[in-house]
């Protein structure tokens, strides 16, 4: 399964109308320790942007802020031309900014199919009107969602597992469910927090393949990733963080020769 870099995708540093996400001057401290101390970058539409950096660089905090789970001490997050800085996670998700989690976050006592169905957006069956009108209020929409979910399951090779409790899956399978769930939510931007961490190499290559396919279909992604080779293969744009700051942006080829990037990885 080969992946191709899309040379026509704009680089991460570029702002302007084509960027789906702008992160401006984010800062966040925890009890006096500045986890993020001035981070700015943009995520272009239709491309994969990677966020890399040594441990403690602040990547997870940035992801938390962008996704709405953490409030920044200062700075802004602009998504699709809207300031979403102070919005909670569910509001961000409703606007198409969907985040996946690094550690296992499956709904353990729901089946795999139900895990995906939960993610379907704007479900009539979740409104209070369900109490009044009952099943006929949501039956049709649910049936369509089931079809969509099953299609996804087939695509990711988990069609046979739809009735399995998500808590009983292997680590790798849980990771796939995580990604499928994110896709089920019909995101404009998929925020993937180390999707291949702790997964066996075969599955990691598989996931990489899926991500490349999705990028080829035009899905915008922001990927936090450790393995630099993967980053080089997948991303059109890379943002490097160290010690809470964004220290460089560009393509992997450009960054390889930059001394500050090398130093950050050697020192950190």
Is 232 strand, coil or helix?
A: helix
Site for another protein contains 88 (CB under 8 A): yes
Site for another protein contains 114 (CB under 8 A): yes
For the bound state, the minimum distance from the C-beta of residue 123 to another protein, rounded and expressed in Å, comes to: 5
Q: Give the contacts of 237 (CB within 8 A, at least 6 positions apart).
A: 9, 10, 11, 12, 13, 43, 44, 47, 48, 49, 50, 249, 250, 251
Site for another protein contains 111 (CB under 8 A): yes
Contacting another protein within 194-253 (CB under 8 A): none
Q: Give the ranges where 156-200 is alpha helix by DSSP (H).
A: 171-184
Among 121, 171, 198, 216, binds another protein (CB under 8 A): 121
Buried b (16+ CB within 10 A) or exposed e, 188-209: bbbbbbbbbeebeeebbebbbe
For the bound state, the minimum distance from the C-beta of residue 182 to another protein, rounded and expressed in Å, comes to: 8
Among 29, 34, 102, 118, binds another protein (CB under 8 A): 118
Q: Give the contacts of 172 (CB within 8 A, at least 6 positions apart).
A: 199, 200, 203
Site for another protein contains 154 (CB under 8 A): yes
Interface contacts to another protein, rule CB under 8 A:
31, 67, 69, 88-90, 93-94, 98-101, 105-111, 113-115, 117-119, 121, 123-128, 130-131, 134-135, 138-139, 142-143, 146-147, 150-151, 154, 159, 162-163, 165, 181, 185
């Amino acid at each position: 399964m080969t992946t191709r870099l899309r040379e026509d995708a704009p680089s991460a540093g570029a702002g302007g109308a084509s960027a789906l996400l702008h992160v401006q001057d984010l800062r966040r401290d925890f009890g006096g320790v500045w986890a993020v101390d001035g981070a700015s970058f943009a995520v272009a539409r239709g491309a994969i942007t990677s966020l890399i950096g040594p441990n403690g660089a602040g990547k997870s905090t940035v992801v938390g802020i962008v996704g709405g789970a953490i409030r920044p001490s200062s700075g802004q997050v602009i998504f699709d031309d809207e300031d979403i800085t102070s919005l909670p996670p569910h509001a961000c998700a409703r606007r198409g900014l969907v985040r996946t989690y690094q550690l296992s976050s499956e709904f353990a006592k729901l089946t795999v199919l139900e895990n995906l169905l939960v993610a379907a957006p704007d479900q009539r069956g979740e409104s209070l009107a369900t109490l009044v009108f009952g099943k006929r209020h949501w039956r049709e929409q649910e049936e369509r969602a089931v079809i969509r979910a099953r299609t996804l399951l087939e695509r990711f090779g988990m069609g046979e597992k739809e009735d399995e409790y998500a808590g009983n899956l292997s680590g790798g399978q849980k990771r796939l469910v995580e990604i499928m769930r994110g896709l089920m939510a019909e995101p404009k931007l998929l925020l993937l927090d180390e999707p291949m961490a702790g997964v066996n190499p075969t599955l990691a290559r598989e996931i990489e393949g899926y991500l490349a396919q999705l990028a080829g279909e035009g899905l915008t992604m922001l990927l936090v990733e450790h393995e630099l080779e993967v980053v080089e293969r997948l991303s059109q744009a890379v943002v490097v963080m160290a010690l809470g700051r964004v220290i460089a942006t560009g393509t992997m080829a450009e960054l390889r020769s930059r001394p500050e990037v090398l130093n950050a990885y050697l020192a950190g």
